[in-house]
Chain A
Amino acid sequence: MHGSEKDAIIRMFHVYRYYSARKALCDITLEISKNEFVFISGPSGAGKTTLLKLLYLGERVSEGQVLVDGINLARIPRKRIPFLRRKFGIIFQDYKLIPSKSVFENVALVLEAAGMKSSLIQKKVRGVLRLVNLEDKSNSLPPTLSGGEQQRAAVARAVVGDPQIILADEPTGSLDAASAGVILELLKGIHIRGATVIVATHDEALINQIGGRVLLLKEGRLESAAFVEKQYDSSLS
């Protein structure tokens, strides 16, 4: 299920990323289509997180080119970077919630940054907190929540702006099976609503549960690309 040039939302050409002499990514060329569900798999240190960072300009490529929705990231002006980032909803491995702000404020921040009206923000944030079943925790501070609740808050923040692409970095890595199941269901729902979902994980069980294209990274190189059959009903929401 490789994306054709026309419907590809992400394209990478011979991308390299060095840290001093160490190569974190080496000659990566790939395409991801709109509304595709893609896993980036591989052991720890394989370069999964680095690859995701290159997409939202958390880091810059050392060599090669990255195109997101037709935008060449090497040529994007500094002022346009926030608008590029609004195309993404990012679920970080360590959640990256602001500890001094409530769950509601953390989620609302995305919409405030986009300049949305306060009344609409209230409505959208309440809706998305209902979706992730955190309505009753909207005034809680992140440090008072469990790992699973924090991850759900992070998912809520990632989806509240209706982004085109969801990037999830080890979204179930530190969760128990029940919490991981909830996150999984949420990711499925987001995909069904039309978003492109890219999940970096080394959790094979997660890949088998959802199915999709799997890009295997090893020591910064793209080793293989395989397709795992979907094991969930796409009518799920």
Chain B
Amino acid sequence: MSWTDIGALTDIPLRGARIVKTPAGCIAVFRTDEAEVFATSNKCAHKGGPLAEGIVHGKQVTCPLHNWVYSLETGEAQGADEGSIATYPVKIEDGRLLLDTDAVAARNAA
């Protein structure tokens, strides 16, 4: 694993998200609780909507374009919709956000 500092936890509003540009495309980093973050692909499996712009609720996000709802833990679309988005390891250390860039690269290679 290669933990890369991508910014401060407080750079992301509570129940909000920010994007990180990577060679594998944009990754959305969600802050679901005071000290709980998830990283996924920013691209909705349906029509490519920017998930980082969705409303974050519980450990889920709703795509702003057509209301697909994803679990941020598994990346699976919820309810009747079928599809999934990639998820990536991200952690908080001393208020900093660390993203596993190896996992991102691996996904890119695959």
A and B part of one assembly: no
